[in-house]
Amino acid sequence: MKLSTKGRYAVMAMVDLASCSAKKGKAVSLADIAERQEISLSYLEQLFGKLRRCGLVKSVRGPGGGYLLARPYEDLRVSDIITAVDETVSATRCAPGSAEGCLHDKSRCLTHDLWQELTNQITLYLNSVSLADVCERRILGTSGLQLAPHKDEETSIAAAQ
């Protein structure tokens, strides 16, 4: 399972927008976001059109124009952003929401419930994380830590020494 660039770039751009507009208190241009995040300007324009239509950002025209968040960043969820750009997160190979399975006879494979529950957990997590959580680095986890070796790996490391 992989989240496409559409969802990842939309979240990156929204975090950039939230961070910069909070510091400067004014609209942020897509060209500035594109440069800082190394994302194509034309791609950002497409994404921000969708974000605007979903009410997540508002545009400001004229000199000093650009984009602002439409709501406080504490009220914007990562899942809102991903959904706004038509992204789906699914670990199954079945069509989302379909009663039919992925096998040739339309039945579900033996691992369907495992992958569906993983999808549910990802969705719950993305619903629980606000844009403020990301901007203020309140995401907890092990992503910045080196994980300890599994017990079997410890045994093979000790045997090698």
Note whether residue 9 is domain-resident: yes
Note whether residue 101 is domain-resident: no
Distance CA 5, CA 43 (A): 10
Chain position carrying tokens 């494979």: 109
Note whether residue 66 is domain-resident: yes
Domain, as residue range, for 83? 1-87
**What pairs with residue 66 in β-bridges?**
60
pTM of the model: 0.78
Q: What is the pLDDT of residue 146?
A: 55
Note whether residue 20 is domain-resident: yes
Would you place residue 98 in the very low, low, confident or very high pLDDT band (cuts 50, 70, 90)?
low
- pLDDT per residue as tens digits for the range 5-21: 899 999 999 999 999 87
The overall longest dimension of the chain from CA atoms, in Å, is 69
CATH number, domain of 26, equals 1.10.10.10
Question: Minimal CA–CA distance to 15: which of 138, 134, 126?
Answer: 134
Note whether residue 18 is domain-resident: yes
Note whether residue 33 is domain-resident: yes
Note whether residue 34 is domain-resident: yes
Q: What are the Cα distances from residue 153, in Å, to 25, 75, 159, 161?
A: 51, 43, 10, 12
Note whether residue 2 is domain-resident: yes
Chain position carrying tokens 């606000």: 130
Q: What is the pLDDT of residue 87?
A: 77
Query: How many domains is the chain built from?
Result: 1
